Amino acid sequence: MGGAAAARLAARGMSVTAWSRTPASVRRWRHDHPDAHVTLAETPADAARSADHLLAFLSDGSALEHVVLGADGVLSGAEGHDVLLADLGTSGPGSVGRVHAALRSSGVRFVDAPVSGSIAAVRDGSLLVMAGGAAEDVESLRSVLLGVLAREVVHVGMGGAGAAMKLCVNAVLFALNAGLAEALRVAESSGVDRDAAYDVLARSAVAAPYLAYKREAFLERGSPVAFSLDLAAKDLRLAVDLAAAAGVGTPVWEAVARGIDAAREAGLGADDLARLSWEV
């Protein structure tokens, strides 16, 4: 998602400096976007020194903490000038809180701004952003994202609220995915063609944007992985922990987590969420 965002921001005329934890992905990105006017930084600190807005697309909270607070991290390059860091990944409230505290003490502005949407949504600028932070910082982020990467930036509360809201969204999404997968398996085993079953579901009361953009993954074995079961397990653990800390029971989320864990134990962790609709 970060690579797609960099390409779209540059195509809209913005000055973009990019850095990635995986050099191989940078080489692939440069090969796929030879005309993109994007400067590649050596370290997160180098990227931060030239920026007024920093957008982090990282896999989890530990990656966020390492990239921001580690050696040659964002914090070491951002100190001393006015810069806003937005975390657009699903990092979880714990990591977000630690990063926010460290940045605040150094005068660096921060918004936890996880997104709902796929890589396709990045490319057509239709992400939904759930932003937690000070109103003026969210407005500054909105001025960069709206109409470029995002169709809407919703201010859901102060620091940490965006991270919490994203976990709630993802937990509902994973429950929908599990229900869809089971429905397809039951329909097929009852003699209904999979394509026909999917068409009915997509036209029914349970229809959601997810059914539209996951259609290929559910109907074609071996489709590209858009969201792995390993990542889903990580997000669900964070969601269940968040609920437990608030004293809220989540039996549905926990049941979905057990199903995903069973698939991972069967060696399917790197597979897409849609893999649950086939024999596990």
Task: Convert the pLDDT of each residue in 23-68 to its tens digit.
Answer: 788 788 888 888 888 888 999 999 999 899 999 999 899 999 999 9
Residue-wise pLDDT for 225-267, tens only, equals 999 999 999 999 999 999 999 999 999 999 999 999 999 999 9
For 164, list phi and psi in degrees, rounded to 5: -65, -45
Alpha carbons 239 and 169: distance in angstroms, whole number: 10
User: What one-character DSSP code corresponds to residue 42?
Assistant: S
User: Which residues have CB under 8 Å from 65's CB, separation 6+?
Assistant: 95, 98, 99
Q: In this predicted structure, which of 12-21, 184-193, 239-248, 262-271 has the lowest mean pLDDT?
A: 12-21
Alpha carbons 16 and 64: distance in angstroms, whole number: 20
Q: Which of 106, 109, 97, 165 is nearest to 137 (CA)?
A: 109
Q: What is the pLDDT of residue 222?
A: 86
pLDDT band at 120 (very low <50, low <70, confident <90, very high): confident
Q: Decide: pTM greater than 0.85.
A: yes
Residue-wise pLDDT for 121-158, tens only, equals 999 999 999 999 999 999 999 999 999 999 999 999 99
pLDDT band at 280 (very low <50, low <70, confident <90, very high): low
Q: What is the pLDDT of residue 170?
A: 96
pLDDT band at 188 (very low <50, low <70, confident <90, very high): very high
Alpha carbons 280 and 274: distance in angstroms, whole number: 11
Evaluate the CA torsion angle 86, 90, 91, 94 in order and state its sign: positive
